[in-house]
Each structure stands twice: as structure tokens, then as C-alpha cells.
Amino acid sequence: MARRSLRLGVDFGTSNTAAGYLCDDRPRLIPFAPGQTTIPTTFFFDYDARRMLIGEPANQALLDGVEGRFMRALKRVLGTGLMHEHRQILNERVTFVDIISRFLAEVKARAEAEAGVSFDRVLSGRPVVFHGTGDPREDAAEADLRACYLAAGFREVEFMPEPQAAAIASGALEQPGSIGLIVDVGGGTSDFSLFQSGRDGITILANHGVRIGGTDFDRSISIDRVMPHLGKGTELRKAMGPGSSPAPNAIFNDLATWEKISFLYTPQNRRLAAEMARLAHEPEKLARLAKVLEDELGHDLSFAVERGKIAANGGEEMASISLAEIERGLAVPLSAEALADSLARHADALAEGARETLKLANLEAARVENVVYVGGSSLMSMVSQTMKEQFPHAVHSFSEVFTAVADGLAIAARDTGA
């Protein structure tokens, strides 16, 4: 007898992924490990074992120094030309569509094993914007994600804006007619949904999004605080003749960008770093860059930045970014003030995103009675501080920040099946 086929709700995130379905009229999230209803959206290609690892095993392989290639934040590649470029990994020519689809196929398999049913249809979350309003890559990004789901074995794919799913999960507000705002700050995007509560659920008044998330926070901190210790801004003597010029920024910017790190480990870039170290007025700094490229420590560096960010945000007085993997004893202090300074431009963009959402709904800020935060990066104090300035009279609260979108997708995926 064939198993029943239901719809699965999937929140494929830049940093983490969650999935769920409706069981006894309640969202049931898939456990990916004991006590864990999310899985890191990470990939590791183990050169010795000749296999791809995902999630925590991928992270652990990186931390253990296993020889291979690590990838993270591939959601940000959707819609770009990189998605369909073939690259040689583990003696196989693959595209990012292939890589992401294998991750989603594993999510599907684990969900089916947990639920005892087939999930041939999926309701996937998507950011309100992948790249930006009016960006020609928008349609391509959704088409790429659809292609990944189809290649993973789903035969029907539908999408719902992620903040809209979070609004569904929040349920009706206590007072019918009340207006709420979902602020969903994830790893790659920040999305807003204005909704009005009713006796039978919610009505979406406006959706809006900006391409800013936790990986952008990490990037800004890394460029401002870490990259100067690797030679950013250092003067290089000219190879021929007198004078000097600053080290080119491109390699530092890419090293601070999660989704670009794995492309940096080329002979050309290693030669460039060695040549810059030879010409530098401060060669010890460029020698650190050369070591990062030679030993492929870029992702270790980014994880260190992320840990420092979390510590500084949590109020640790002596928070720092440890660079011990690069040089014994090397650490960069990260005070609350330094953190705020690096994130200031993102705070401005979030404030503008909230104002634009109000404009789309033709509402004044004073009409918003509740602001609900979801997404792991909404835990950054800068986010709530910025929103409290925009909505000083609203009640501000945190939902299930890591799983609210998946909960809402599971509810919205309600389906009698066949």
C-alpha cells in the first residue's frame, strides 16, 4: 500500500534550515538531531572519504581540520550566474543547483522517515526579495530555488514570503483588528510583513524586504576589525620605481564574504598574497593573509568573527575575535561600541525598510501595536533598538526566532493529501 503524500513546509535559510508539517492541527518540526529542529545550511566535501556532509557534521569536519572544501550561505548565490557554472568537486562536475538539491533531498528523506508519509509537494519560504526590488536577478533566484526542489524529488513547488509565514505562526493578536509587524532578520535578508488580526486569522497588509542579514553583519565586522590585521589598507612598495600604493581591497572583501570564501583558494590568489607580503611596508600582516589562503582558513576566520559578534552582543566586557588559528595569541578586541559602529549602516537600512513597509500599506507608525521578531539575527540588539526608535509605542516581543517561519509554512501547507 502506497504511503500518503502530503505537503512539507521548508524554510531553506542562508544559515539554517527547518522543515515541518501539520499533525493533529499543530505544526510538527522535523528533528535533525536530538533536540534540534534546525540544521545548519552548510556543506563539506570530504576529499578522503569522497562524500558530501551537511549540517553539523559539515561544521565539525571543518573544525577538525579534515581535508576538503566547506561551503555556507549558498542561498545568496541563487539568481546569479554562479548557480549554473560547473565545477570539479570529488571527481564530479557539479553546479550549485546539484549541491543545494542534494541538501534538500536529504531534508525530504528525513522528513519522510519521521512522518511515515511521502512529501512530494513542498511549500517553501522565500525572502520578499532575494537581491533587491527591481533587480533582474529576482525571477532567476526563485526559478533556481524551484529547480533545486524539483531536482530533490518534489513534483510540486509553491512559495510563500517568509515573514508572511511567520505572521501565520504568530496567530491572531489578542485584540481583533490590531496591526502587527513581523521583523524577520535572517542570515541573508531582512523581511517585513504588516498584518492585521481578525477573528479568523490574519490579513497581510504589506510585505517588503532588503538584502541585509547576519552574514552582512559578519562581513562588516570582519572588514572593519579583522582585515586590517591581514593587511587591508597596508601600503605596498611599487615593484618598479619609487612610491607606494594601498593593497587592493578586493581580496579582503571576498575573504569577509561567506559565499565567496571557497573561491579564493587558487594558485593565482596565493601568488598575489605572497607578492604583496614581499612588497608590503608591514609584511607581517600580509603574511597572515598568505597563511589564510595557503591553509584555507577563511571559514575558520568567519566563524571566529561570528562568535565574537555574539559575545559582544551578549554584553561580554572582554569580547574579542580570536585569530589564534592564524597566529598564536592573536585576538582583536570587539567592544559594544565597536560592534555598533560596524553595524550602523545596517541599522539605517533596516529603519528604511520598516518605513517603506508602512508606506506600502499607507499606514502611520503609530498604528502598529505589536512588533514581533523572528530570525536568528533579530537577536542582535541593534535590530530591536532600531525598531523601537521607529515604533516607540508598540509592544515588542520575540517569537520562536529560529523556527517561526517553518511553523507558519507547516500550518499553511495544510493539505488532506492523496
Cα 190 → chain centroid: 10
Q: Identity (one letter) of the amino acid at 61?
A: A
Strand duo 179-185 + 370-374: pairing: parallel
Proportion of the chain above pLDDT 70, given as a percent: 97
Closest CA to 412 of 35, 6, 116: 6
48 within 8 A of 91, measured Cβ to Cβ: no
Cα–Cα distance, 41 to 16 (Å, whole number):
5
pLDDT tens digits, one per residue of 225-276: 999 999 999 999 987 778 899 999 999 999 999 999 999 999 999 999 999 9
CB 18 within 8 A of CB 402: yes
Query: Residue 2: pLDDT above 70?
Result: no
Instruction: Supply φ then ψ for residue 190, to 5 degrees.
Output: -125, 125
Asked if pLDDT for residue 418 goes beyond 60, the answer is no
As given in the structure block, the three cell numbers for residue 417 are: 493529501
Q: How high does pLDDT run on average in the chain?
A: 94
Sign of CA dihedral 213, 218, 224, 228: negative
pLDDT digits (tens, 9 = 90+) for 49-82: 999 999 999 999 999 999 999 999 999 999 999 9
Q: How many Å apart are CA 142 and CA 22, to the nearest integer?
A: 25
- pLDDT for the residue numbered 416: 43
Other Cβ atoms within 10 Å of 335 Cβ, number? 14
The whole-angstrom separation of Cα 108 and Cα 99 is: 15
The predicted pLDDT at position 133 comes to 84
Query: Considering only CA atoms, which of 216, 54, 83, 86 is closest in space to residue 145?
Result: 83
Q: Where are the beta strands (DSSP E) in 247-405?
A: 320-322, 331-333, 370-374, 395-398
> 403 near 26, Cβ under 8 Å?
no
d(CA 230, CA 301): 11
47 phi and psi, to 5 degrees?
Answer: -70, -35
d(CA 123, CA 410): 8
**Alpha-carbon distance values, 72 to 40, 45, 79, 250, 378 (Å):** 9, 12, 16, 20, 20
CB 225 within 8 A of CB 238: no
Query: CB–CB of 372/166 below 8 Å?
Result: yes
Q: What percent of the chain has pLDDT over 90?
A: 89
Split at pLDDT 50, 70, 90, the class of 4 is low
For 364, counting Cβ atoms within 10 Å of its Cβ (0-12 exposed, 13-18 middle, 19+ buried), the class is exposed
Over 60: is that where the pLDDT of 415 sits? no
DSSP 8-state assignment for residue 303: H
Which residue carries 511549500 as its cell?
123
